[in-house]
């Protein structure tokens, strides 16, 4: 593969390019990231991901937007530090805005990006997650999504959030998480079922830690009297 290939594809992502060229460039990156291989490192860079995100700002067609989101998330999965860079530079709020788009592939792509970042959280991301009311509303709304893959990826995001900060559990339960999970557990989709099972196992594992936090808080309040 020629050394100039990344720059050629980057030029294809420019907003003034023909939409067909843009789609071919995004699809090529998506395919490369999907299959991996020795050449992927040349393309899994912040410059390329930034080019994809820049195209997303102006791209109109659902197919192109979905391909761009998919390519972005797959490149970030190949090099997880890219996900942290995207969130640090663009902000968590911008990513969460993408979850409200009426395009399941875009939502899946950015849920994947979020989940990759949550597995390798930067200090800035952890800080931006201090308030559960920032991330929980857009995520829990998607638990009612018609696409089972979107619902499944939300469960993964919630599981990662709970592991990162167990204080997310209470507001999530106040948003009727447990009845929703119970309903989703009866869905026949195998991927969704696996994500439900993983979330439930994670919740069980968190019980001792949460109980200890409650006892500690009670002790603190009692000694303060």
| Domain final residue, candidates 99, 121, 143 | 121
Res 220: pLDDT: 72
Per-residue pLDDT tens for 18-37?
A: 889 999 999 999 998 988 77
List, as own/partner pairs, every contact residues 15-20 make where C-beta atoms lie below 8 angstroms and the sequence separation is at least 24, other chains included: 15/54, 15/55, 15/57, 15/58, 19/59, 19/60, 19/61, 19/64
Give yes or no: residues 99 and 159 share one domain.
no
- Separation CA 212–CA 39 (nearest Å): 48
> Would the pLDDT of 205 be above 80?
yes
Using 50, 70 and 90 to split pLDDT, how confident is the model at 224? Answer: low
- Separation CA 140–CA 175 (nearest Å): 7
Per-residue pLDDT tens for 37-91?
A: 777 888 889 999 999 999 998 888 899 999 999 999 999 999 999 999 999 998 9
- Answer yes or no: are the C-beta atoms of 48 and 6 closer than 8 Å: yes
Give yes or no: residues 88 and 135 share one domain.
no
Total domains present in the chain: 2
Mean pLDDT value across residues 125-139: 93
Give yes or no: residues 80 and 113 share one domain.
yes
Give yes or no: residues 187 and 101 share one domain.
no
Give yes or no: residues 29 and 116 share one domain.
yes
Give yes or no: residues 209 and 114 share one domain.
no
What is the pTM assigned to this prediction?
Answer: 0.90
For residue 45, give its domain range: 1-121
The torsion region of residue 208 among left (phi > 0), alpha (psi -120 to 50) and beta comes to alpha
- Separation CA 26–CA 44 (nearest Å): 13
Give yes or no: residues 51 and 5 share one domain.
yes
- Separation CA 87–CA 90 (nearest Å): 5
Give yes or no: residues 24 and 94 share one domain.
yes
CA atoms lying within 13 Å on the CB side of residue 195: 23
| Domain final residue, candidates 102, 121, 140 | 121
Give yes or no: residues 199 and 215 share one domain.
yes
| Domain final residue, candidates 121, 155, 185 | 121
Give yes or no: residues 140 and 225 share one domain.
yes
Res 161: pLDDT: 96
C-alpha dihedral, 99 to 154 to 129 to 141, nearest 10°: 60
Q: How far apart are the first and last CA of the chain?
A: 71
Higher pLDDT, 210 or 32: 32
Give yes or no: residues 43 and 75 share one domain.
yes
Please name the residues in contact with 155: beta carbons below 8 A apart, sequence gap of 6 or more.
143, 181, 184, 192, 195, 196, 198, 199
CATH number at residue 35: 1.25.10.10
Please name the residues in contact with 148: beta carbons below 8 A apart, sequence gap of 6 or more.
187, 189, 191, 192
Per-residue pLDDT tens for 90-129?
A: 899 999 999 999 999 999 999 999 999 999 899 999 999 9
Q: How many CB atoms lie within 10 A of CB 37?
A: 9
Give yes or no: residues 113 and 161 share one domain.
no
Res 30: pLDDT: 93
Res 1: pLDDT: 60
């Amino acid at each position: 593969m020629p050394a100039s290939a990344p720059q050629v594809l980057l030029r294809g992502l420019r907003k003034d390019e023909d939409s067909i060229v843009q789609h071919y460039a995004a699809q090529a990156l998506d395919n490369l990231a999907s299959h991996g291989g020795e050449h992927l490192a040349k393309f899994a860079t912040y410059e390329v991901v930034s080019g994809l995100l820049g195209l997303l700002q102006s791209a109109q067609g659902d197919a192109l937007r979905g391909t761009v989101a998919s390519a972005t998330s797959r490149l970030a999965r190949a090099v997880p530090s890219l996900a942290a860079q995207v969130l640090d530079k663009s902000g968590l709020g911008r990513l969460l805005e993408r979850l409200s788009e009426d395009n399941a592939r875009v939502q899946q792509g950015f849920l994947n990006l979020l989940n990759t970042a949550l597995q390798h959280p930067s200090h800035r991301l952890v800080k931006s997650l201090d308030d559960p009311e920032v991330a929980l509303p857009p995520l829990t709304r998607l638990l009612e999504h018609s696409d089972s893959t979107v619902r499944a990826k939300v469960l993964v995001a919630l599981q990662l959030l709970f592991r990162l900060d167990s204080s997310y559990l209470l507001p999530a339960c106040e948003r009727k998480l447990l009845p929703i999970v119970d309903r989703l557990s009866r869905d026949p989709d195998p991927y969704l079922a696996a994500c439900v099972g993983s979330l439930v196992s994670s919740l069980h594992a968190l019980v001792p830690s949460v109980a200890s936090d409650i006892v500690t808080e009670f002790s603190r309040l009692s000694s303060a009297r």
